[in-house]
Amino acid sequence: MKAENLTGPICVHAEAPVWSTSWGGVRWVDGDAADLVTLRDDGIHRLHLDDTYAAFVRPRVGGGFVALGARSLHLSDSPDGPARVAATFDLGDARFNDGTVDPHGRLLAGSMALGDAGAAGRMLRIGGDLDTTTVLSSVTVSNGVAFAPGGSRAYYVDTVTQRVDVFDVVEGELRGRRGFVTIPEEQGSPDGLTVAADGSVWVALWGGSAVRGYAPDGSLIARIDLPVPQVSACTFGGDDLGTLFITTSAQGLGADHGTEAGSLFAVQPGVSGVPVAAFAG
């Protein structure tokens, strides 16, 4: 399958796409710019966070959005901002990276180690009242996390492990972590991911110029090739949730890289996604 370039290279580090009717299209982050970028029928819109980084964004149950910055949680009552800092977190030698909202409306906010800090990252669960629990510790680069339809399983990537892991979800808790698929290093490293309504898992490959689709049993069912090396994340969207939107990054490539890196791509892979969960805060 071949993906279509929707935007051209408008970002340095496009990451963490999410579709929501609350803001009328697909929204993603331009990480180092600390911007939220939205593509809808009337064009491309940018909203800057008062932060040094933008990690990911999700809709709120009552409207507006929640966004994670480097170490802060931003809330907005409107889909297009402005946003205010509602909480800050002591992450030590780490910053927030990717994350999601679980079926109970709680944020799962992963972080990644900075510099040579090693496994200094973790995953926090943040409730609607901003109470916080550490779900995972000793993480190096926390990336994709998503729930299977029905919420009985959760898939997770710590990129340096070269694996997509799977958990059972028991009474809202992640249990029984085990390997789902392993990506050989020469094929890229797993980054962001999403899960379709049929239970298939779609994984962006950083350094691998591709998104791969896997059946619930871990068998490879699809490969989407991209004309850029650093494929960062993917999500289903569109009116029928049948379009897979894919973010790509030019991070570290230099101004003269001469590629389409930093663009948003899209493809229709023949399966559909599920509506995104909203934050209860």
How many other CB atoms sit within 10 Å of the CB of residue 107? 25
Question: Token match 């991911």: residue?
Answer: 193
Give 115's pLDDT tier (boundaries 50, 70, 90): confident
How many other CB atoms sit within 10 Å of the CB of residue 81? 17
- For 130, list phi and psi in degrees, rounded to 5: 70, 15
Q: What is the pLDDT of residues 125-182, one digit of tens each?
A: 999 999 999 999 999 999 999 999 999 999 999 999 999 999 999 999 999 999 999 9
Q: Outline where DSSP puts E strands in 127-267.
A: 132-139, 142-147, 153-158, 163-170, 173-182, 189-195, 201-206, 210-214, 220-225, 231-237, 243-248, 264-267
Give 254's pLDDT tier (boundaries 50, 70, 90): confident
Left if phi > 0, otherwise alpha if psi is -120 to 50, otherwise beta: which for 253?
Answer: alpha
The residue-averaged pLDDT of 174-198 equals: 98
User: What confidence score (pLDDT) does residue 164 get?
Assistant: 98
Strand order in the sheet with 142-147: 142-147, 153-158, 163-170, 173-182
- For 186, list phi and psi in degrees, rounded to 5: -70, -10
User: What confidence score (pLDDT) does residue 201 get?
Assistant: 98
By CB atoms closer than 10 A (0-12, 13-18, 19+), residue 10 is middle
The residue-averaged pLDDT of 36-56 equals: 97
- Whole-model pTM over 0.85: yes
User: What confidence score (pLDDT) does residue 248 get?
Assistant: 98
Whole-number average pLDDT of the chain: 97
Looking at this protein, which amino acid is placed at residue 116? Answer: D
